[in-house]
A and B are shown apart, each in its own frame.
Chain A
Amino acid sequence: MTWRLLGVVIVLAALLVGFTKRDTQYRLDAKRSAFDQAALDHRDSAYTSMTWVASRSENYFQLRFFDKVEGGICLSPSWEDLAALGAKEPSLAHLVPTGGRPTMAKPGASWSDSWLPDPGTLSNSPYVRLFPLSILLNDKLVSAAGGDPRAAKAKVLVVGLGSGAGIAVLAHHFPQVAITVVDIDRKVIDMVRDHFPLIRWLSEQTLADGTPRLRFEARDARQFIHFYDVGNKPRFDVVILDAYTAGSTIPSHLMTTEFFADCARVLDQDGIVLANVIGCYGVTRESSREVTGPKHRVLGGAIRSFRAAGLTSVLNFPVIRPRETPSTFLTDEGRNNIVVSSRTALEPAANKAAWERVRRFVPWPELQIGHHVTRQYYLSKSHDDEFSTTMVDAKIIDDQCPALAKSMKPNPNDKDALQGITYSFDEDAGAAEEARRAVLQWAATGHAKVPKHWDEEGADTVVLVETDWLKYARDTVRCSIAAGADIDRNGGDALVGSPDWKDPTRAPDGAMIGDAPIFTDQRPNADILNR
């Protein structure tokens, strides 16, 4: 009998522990995250687990897969702001919701606020800001539109939806664009259409000739492209490859020469494939030729595979953030690279008119610097990377200790805040304590509960992060374009050597990424290398 009793106790105890201590797949309270972030909705699918997360103090609306941020859009300027601008500015007329705003889905149970996110088109993630290159670099397409990229009637295929930020960027800059999105996960498509009002509205609109402005296909991209009948359907001017799994790896069947050749088949003669490739150049700080992890082989492999598929002209735009020096990407161990390839020569010397447009390109020209700025404080501890509070809205502290911000000095070299400017009081426990008290005071006066980790003592550094999201966006585009134009360092030949080199396992001598393979269906493996 005692044994039976023990059995009952074990089962009940395990159930109790499992039920009360169960962990979630999505965490919102990571260190140094915005104190006011909240989950708008959370859904699971057969492929992933996703959460829409919004923070007004950090100006983002992000779709997270598991707890990874795969992309996001700024909350300010909102779609409403853009529509109001569009009432006066003809260049934004295509974003004015004529015929009313769409009806959106109800937020999930985790959302308790009364407002609902209404993001516009300013992207919060850096790499999608470069998607316009896929149209700007196509001289034939833009010339056919009288040399005005805004009039280009581009047909774009996007593989991998994510948050929809990239689509918003394209829709903002190219009013005549017709976008088809193919994503394997219908639940991701539903999640974006249910909670991103602008995207939902676009998917219900048509262009003057009756083509839908945005349509979705819930299928595996390899299948969709394979069965796309170019005899009956129009070819695309642009194919954007941005499909990733939850572990930030590219599905290996979407990273082979055969797949790229199929992309080329559905592409117009002068069309461009733009791929987001997380990778690196395989150079470490210690030695200029030493190879790091295998990630550089993914980037090099992608470039060689594009060329093997007939898209021989390849440019690489490493996504560079404004605080980085032009050479940091050489030694970086993994970043977004925008790889652009085409049958037609894209290099600056051979594609002068298009490059002129690329250099003149002003992202979000209707918006103004200084209007979409966030300011946040956090506390940290020198020599203790683990210690950090959440980031609180600067207003909370500034209201109570106005002198603090005024006496802080900018940190020109802080690499932790690549997007903005940081100010700090290093190893000044008094200042840290002052800021902490201000936050506790703010919470105590009935506004809210204490932001996470602000009740922990021991901080000796106050940091103020100031970000101008429009400036950040424009700087990213400018720096990345400058790097991409430097083909002696970042062009296809510089990275993986001549396209005539056929050895599938390694690039010719002198190439930056010497061990770049050609990925084929027989040897895909981009998922194994990309970690």
Chain B
Amino acid sequence: MRIFTLYLTSIICGFCMMALEILGGRLLQPVFGSSIDVWAAIISVFILSLSIGYVLGGRIADRSRSNMPLAWMILIAGAFYCMMCWYGLRFSNSLGEQIQTARWGVLLGALVLFLPPSLLLGSVSPMLVKLVFTNAAHVGRTTGTLYAIGSLGNVLGILVTDYLLLEHFELTTNLLAMGAILGALGLFHLFTRIEASIVAPAEPLVAAT
């Protein structure tokens, strides 16, 4: 059950993260167009935030023994998704003409809009690694499976958003729905404590001898 919950968390976070990458185009296109610059900006910001998220998530995971930090990361990411319905397009539109027409303008827009939520979702992976870890002999297998499932979520997030969600629902409906799902997932973790199986050594072992 515990492992199933963690895998499900991984797949949902992966889905929502890449879905935002596709939906993100819609937040920028009305102002910045849809040239290759726009996609370069979006992709680079998401990969950047993954990179920062991994470092951050890894450090937090080492200090924690449960899924509480994980719960907060997912919950706040969900809040960003919801709030983006309000500030997303308004923000793109409010950038001055100078920024809107500059080549780096879209990079700035993508940074402000997508860095916070995708950074939070990026930090989820290392925290999940800590939680799924049960046995040092199987560390490769468990983390490998976890990454595979997270990436599967990524793939689904891209394809389902492109082929289905964009055509049938409005941008804000999609964002709000994903925000609600992430919020619910965050709350679930907040109310269901999952302990990590490895506990950090309290003191360096050398001191004991």
Residues of A at the B interface (CB closer than 8 Å) are 3-4, 7-8, 10-11, 13-15, 17-19, 21-25, 44-46, 49, 66-68, 187, 245-249, 252, 293, 527-528, 530-531
Knowing A7-B75, A7-B186, A46-B167, say if A15 contacts B35 (CB, 8 Å).
Answer: no
* Contacts A4-B191, A11-B79, A22-B172 known; 7 new A-B pairs at CB < 8 A: A14-B78, A14-B83, A17-B86, A18-B176, A23-B90, A25-B30, A66-B29
Closest 10 CB pairs of A and B: A247-B33, A18-B82, A11-B183, A14-B79, A527-B35, A14-B82, A22-B85, A66-B30, A21-B86, A18-B85
Cβ contacts under 8 Å, B88 to chain A: 23
Which residue of the partner chain A has the closest CB to B78? A11
Residues of B at the A interface (CB closer than 8 Å) are 26, 29-30, 32-38, 68, 71-72, 75-76, 78-86, 88-90, 101, 103, 162-163, 166-172, 175-176, 179-180, 183-184, 186-187, 190-191
Cβ contacts under 8 Å, A68 to chain B: 30
Cβ contacts under 8 Å, B38 to chain A: 247
Q: Give Cα A22 to B171, complex, Å.
A: 10
Contact B79 A10 (CB under 8 A): yes
Show 17 residue pairs from A and B whose CB-CB distance is below 8 angstroms, ordered by the A residue.
A4-B191, A7-B186, A11-B187, A14-B183, A15-B176, A18-B176, A21-B86, A24-B89, A44-B169, A45-B166, A46-B162, A49-B26, A245-B33, A245-B34, A252-B35, A530-B35, A531-B101
Contact B190 A531 (CB under 8 A): no
Contact B187 A7 (CB under 8 A): yes
Which DSSP category, helix, strand, loop or mixed, fits chain B's interface? helix
Which residue of the partner chain A has the closest CB to B84? A18
Q: Contacting A22 at CB < 8 Å: which of B75, B103, B176?
A: B176
Cβ contacts under 8 Å, B84 to chain A: 18
Contact A7 B166 (CB under 8 A): no
Contact A249 B34 (CB under 8 A): yes
Find the residue from A3, A18, A293, A527 having the highest chain B CB count within 10 A.
Answer: A18
Knowing A23-B172, A49-B171, A245-B33, say if A10 contacts B86 (CB, 8 Å).
Answer: no
Q: Contacting B35 at CB < 8 Å: which of A46, A66, A528?
A: A528
Total number of residue pairs linking A and B with CB closer than 8 Å: 125
Q: Give Cα A22 to B30, complex, Å.
A: 16
Cβ contacts under 8 Å, B172 to chain A: 18, 22-24
For residue A333, give the distance in angstroms from its CB to the closest CB of chain B.
Answer: 10
For residue B87, give the distance in angstroms from its CB to the closest CB of chain A.
Answer: 8
Which residue of the partner chain B has the closest CB to A4? B190
Contact A7 B190 (CB under 8 A): yes
Q: Give Cα A24 to B83, complex, Å.
A: 14
Q: Give Cα A528 to B36, complex, Å.
A: 7
Q: Contacting B175 at CB < 8 Å: which of A18, A66, A247?
A: A18
For residue B179, give the distance in angstroms from its CB to the closest CB of chain A.
Answer: 6
Knowing A18-B172, A23-B172, say if A246 contacts B29 (CB, 8 Å).
Answer: yes
Q: Give Cα A527 to B186, complex, Å.
A: 41
Contact A245 B35 (CB under 8 A): yes
Contact B26 A18 (CB under 8 A): no
Cβ contacts under 8 Å, B71 to chain A: 7
Which residue of the partner chain A has the closest CB to B180? A15
Contact A23 B86 (CB under 8 A): yes
For residue B157, give the distance in angstroms from its CB to the closest CB of chain A.
Answer: 15
Find the residue from A11, A21, A246, A248 having the highest chain B CB count within 10 A.
Answer: A11
For residue A178, give the distance in angstroms from its CB to the closest CB of chain B.
Answer: 31
Q: Give Cα A200 to B84, complex, Å.
A: 39
Find the residue from A13, A22, A25, A45 having the highest chain B CB count within 10 A.
Answer: A22
Contact A17 B170 (CB under 8 A): no
Contact B85 A19 (CB under 8 A): yes
Q: Give Cα A18 to B86, complex, Å.
A: 5
Cβ contacts under 8 Å, B83 to chain A: 14, 17-18
Contact A15 B36 (CB under 8 A): no
Q: Contacting B86 at CB < 8 Å: which of A7, A22, A247?
A: A22
Which residue of the partner chain A has the closest CB to B80? A14
Cβ contacts under 8 Å, B180 to chain A: 15
Cβ contacts under 8 Å, A44 to chain B: 166-171
For residue B195, give the distance in angstroms from its CB to the closest CB of chain A.
Answer: 17
Q: Give Cα A75 to B82, complex, Å.
A: 40
For residue A339, give the distance in angstroms from its CB to the closest CB of chain B.
Answer: 20
Which residue of the partner chain B has the closest CB to A46? B166
Which residue of the partner chain A has the closest CB to B90? A23
Q: Give Cα A19 to B180, complex, Å.
A: 11
Q: Contacting A11 at CB < 8 Å: which of B29, B36, B163, B184?
A: B184
